[in-house]
Structure 1
Amino acid sequence: MGNPRIAAEQYLKKYNIPDLFDYLLSQIVINLPEDPWTHLSEICEKLDSRSFQDNIPFFTRDEINIVFSNYEVLNRGYITGAQAKQALKTMGLKPRIVDDLFIDDDANLSREEFSQYAVNGFNKRLNSWLGKYP
């Protein structure tokens, strides 16, 4: 039998448990629900069933568009790949996941392209909690 501490650390890393706890705690702090236990239960059910509007975990399409607009201040209709990476990190994606999206820093990304990167990134985040993403 191996070292239990190492086994526990590997398990936490495999399922990205610290990130999941950070997310759950942030939802409590942001929403301040009357019944936090029920709220957490509802969040976990939603995550488990993957029942997201438009198949977008964590954010609505409108919220993703708002983030895009905050970075697209010159009204050119696009943001750079470097801006997109920063926006995704600001939205809560870990640098490892953002790097795995392979966004070219010099690329010009439309609102729809940015939205697709966001959806892909947050699906990877969700899959990491389900043990389906390294």
Structure 2
Amino acid sequence: MRAGMSNEKSSQTKVVLGSDNRLASAIANVLEDAGYSVDVVADYEEAARLWQRERHHLVLLEISHHQSLERAVNIALRVKQQDATQFVGYLTDRNLHTSSLAGDVVLPRDAASLTLALKTLRALTFSGARG
């Protein structure tokens, strides 16, 4: 989260973003600019641990290559086993074969499409339901 935004944190949709590469900071900046409170972690395991402590509204797992698919799916399943209502999304490219992902949605990694998709999802599903 960016400095100076702590007063707004309680009213923002909280996101934990687990990533397998350096693209996460750029994605986090886009999400923060769109009004989300984002915690970025360098791997999926840490995303699950942080989610357990903080109970973010949204868990996003950014996947940049095939080798990360299995780890991301395992984390999504673990989160869903602990809370079946938890929203878990993947950020990935169309060229990855993602039909076996176990989560709520597969989202695009490009900034314009991602913010539009999340704006729609926010309105439909996770609009501040958690405290």
- TM-score per shorter chain, which class? under 0.3
When the two structures are superposed, what TM-score results if normalisation uses the length of structure 2?
0.25
Structure having the larger proportion of residues in strand: 2
Between the two structures, name the one with larger relative contact order (CA 8 Å, sep ≥ 6). Answer: 1
More helix by share: 1
Q: With the length of structure 1 as denominator, give the TM-score of the two structures.
A: 0.24
